[in-house]
Amino acid sequence: MRYSRQNTILDLIKENEIETQEKLATALKQRGFDVTQATVSRDIKELQLIKILSSTGKYKYATGLSNENPISDRFTKIFKDTVKSVAFAGNIVIVKTLSGCAAAAAEAVDTTTFPHIVGSIAGDNTVFIVVDEFENSPKLVELFNEMLGKR
């Protein structure tokens, strides 16, 4: 439930100018999540959201630009908690997740600096990651499996 809610938060702040925790809580409630201000505050902290100046001159929530090491603790935690399997076909890495968690996993991949990743596309429970060259796909799968504790 938490990752699904946090995934929805990421979608909401991309699609709308969310200025306050109260507006975020209201938007989440409209999407079927029963949240409190404390829950929203905790999610903002876990997602490392920041406030930036919007084109309208107001401040809004946005994803932070992290200068952390390439594999952040947040990514590792999301990955371990939601990913069921990782495989590749050609230059596509396929990540199977719990239902409703693929976008959160893809966002985590997109905000890191893994080499050879061109981009990702997320569905409900599957992420397709495009790798620059076929020979780099097994390396990425091996890295992901190491993060999952599988060898």
In order, the DSSP letters of 89-141 are: ETTEEEEEESTT-HHHHHHHHHTS--TTEEEEEE-SSEEEEEESSGGGHHHHH
Of 108 and 42, the structure prediction assigns the larger pLDDT to 42
Taking only the tens place, the pLDDT of each residue in 103-150 is 888 887 887 777 899 999 999 999 999 999 999 999 999 989 888 887
In this structure, the answer to whether residues 7 and 54 fall within a common structural domain is yes
pLDDT, residue 65, reads: 55
Beta bridge partners of 85: 96
pLDDT, residue 72, reads: 61
Query: Average pLDDT of 91-113?
Result: 88
In this structure, the answer to whether residues 122 and 82 fall within a common structural domain is yes
- pLDDT averaged over every residue in the chain: 87
Within-domain flag for 40: yes
Domain containing residue 31: 2-63
Q: Is the pLDDT of residue 67 over 80?
A: no
Task: Report d(CA 138, CA 8) in Å as an integer.
Answer: 31
Query: Average pLDDT of 85-113?
Result: 90
Domain count, the chain: 2
Within-domain flag for 81: yes
